Amino acid sequence: MDVLTGRTALVTGGGRGIGRGIAERLARDGARVAVHYGSNEAAAKETVTAIEATGGSAFAIGVELGRPGDAKALWEAFDRQADGLDILVNNAGIGTSRPLDEIDEAEYDRVFAVNVKAPHFIVKHGLDRLRDGGRVINISSGLARTAAMPDKMAYAMTKGALDVFTRDLSKVLGPRGITVNSVAPGIIDTDNTAELLHGTEDGWAQASAISALGRVGVPADVADVVAFLASDDGRWITGSWVDTTGGSLT
Within a 10 A sphere around the Cβ of 201, how many other Cβ atoms? 7
Residue 241, class by beta-carbon neighbours within 10 Å (0-12 exposed, 13-18 middle, 19+ buried)? middle
- Distance of alpha carbon 217 from its chain centroid, rounded? 15
In this predicted structure, the answer to whether residue 68 has a pLDDT above a threshold of 80 is: yes
Q: Is the pLDDT of residue 97 over 70?
A: yes
Q: Which helix (H) or strand (E) holds 160?
A: helix 153-173
Question: What letter represents residue 111's amino acid?
Answer: V
Mapping DSSP to helix (H, G, I), strand (E, B) and coil, where does residue 217 land? strand
- Tens of pLDDT, residues 144-176: 998 788 999 999 999 999 999 999 999 999 999
- Tell me, rounded to whole angstroms, the distance of Cα 12 from its chain centroid: 7
* Catalytic residue from among 37, 97, 155, 248: 155
Q: What confidence score (pLDDT) does residue 196 get?
A: 76
The CA distance from 59 to 162, in Å, is: 26
Of 140, 170, 231, 248, the catalytic one is: 140
Q: Which residues contact 38 (CB under 8 A, 6 or more apart)?
A: 13, 62, 63, 64, 65, 92
From 141, 170, 182, 248, active-site residue: 141
Over residues 128-137, the mean pLDDT reads: 98
Q: Is 140 in the active site? A: yes
Q: C-alpha distances in angstroms, 63 versus 12, 14, 38?
A: 10, 12, 5
Q: What is the pLDDT of residue 106?
A: 98
Grade residue 1 by pLDDT with cuts at 50, 70 and 90. Answer: low
Question: Which is the catalytic residue, given 37, 97, 159, 231?
Answer: 159
Per-residue pLDDT tens over the stretch 170-218:
999 999 999 999 999 999 988 887 677 787 878 888 889 889 999 999 9
- What domains lie within the chain, and their CATH numbers? 8-188+218-241 (3.40.50.720)
Q: Catalytic annotation on 159?
A: yes
